[in-house]
Structure formats: structure tokens, C-alpha cells
């Protein structure tokens, strides 16, 4: 039984050391981050840098500029008035037929 108590106390002591070291590491990181941010802010102000110059093009930035919406119809069925943009699966009313007959005049 003494061996079990000794192992438990070593483990507990090591866990306490780990917790203290993690706290010290976090404090050191926070202090260094403040120094780095101060340096970056100074350089940004000195050189007049923009966010885009510092970080480059953001992901998805171009996607917002080109909205994906409905495409204008290119073909119309004269019997029903149904329209098709020419994209995707062709509807039954135009399948296998000459598309020129169904073109919408611009």
C-alpha cells in the first residue's frame, strides 16, 4: 500500500507542476503577443499599410463580388411558355429538337 500512495503523490505533484507551467506559458505568450502587436501596429502606421497588403486577398472575397443568381432564359416553349436558360438538363419540350426554333428574340 505505501507504494500506491507514493505513486499517487508523485502523480499529483506532477499534475500540479504541469498546471503551474501551463499558467506560466500562457502568461509569457500573452506578454509576447503584446510586444508583437505593438511592433506590427507601429510598422503599419509608419508605412501606411492596408489590411489587404498585410494579409493578401481573403478567401471567398471574390465570391461575394459575383453573385450566383438565376440566369436569364435563352429558350421558350411557344405552346406552354416554359423557359430554359440552356444550362443543366434539357427539358422534355426541347429534347431532341432544333433549339434555334425556341430561341428567345432579344
How much is the pLDDT for 62? 57
Cell digits of residue 80: 406552354
Q: What is the pLDDT of residues 32-51, one digit of tens each?
A: 999 999 999 999 999 988 88
Query: Are residues 103 and 74 in contact, defined by beta-carbon separation less than 8 angstroms?
Result: yes
Q: What is the pLDDT of residues 95-104, one digit of tens each?
A: 888 888 889 8
How much is the pLDDT for 69? 76
Residue showing cell 428567345? 104
pTM, entire model:
0.40
Closest among 69, 77, 66 to 104, alpha carbons compared: 77
How much is the pLDDT for 36? 92
How much is the pLDDT for 37? 92
Low-confidence ranges of the chain (pLDDT < 50): 1
Amino acid at each position: 500500500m505505501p507504494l500506491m500512495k507514493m505513486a499517487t503523490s508523485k502523480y499529483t505533484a506532477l499534475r500540479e507542476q504541469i498546471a503551474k507551467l501551463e499558467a506560466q506559458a500562457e502568461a509569457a505568450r500573452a506578454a509576447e503577443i503584446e510586444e508583437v502587436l505593438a511592433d506590427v501596429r507601429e510598422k503599419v502606421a509608419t508605412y501606411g499599410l492596408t489590411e489587404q497588403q498585410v494579409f493578401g486577398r481573403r478567401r471567398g472575397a471574390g465570391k461575394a463580388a459575383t453573385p450566383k443568381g438565376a440566369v436569364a432564359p435563352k429558350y421558350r416553349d411557344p405552346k406552354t411558355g416554359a423557359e430554359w436558360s440552356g444550362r443543366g438538363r434539357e427539358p422534355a419540350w426541347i429534347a431532341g429538337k432544333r433549339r434555334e426554333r425556341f430561341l428567345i428574340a432579344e
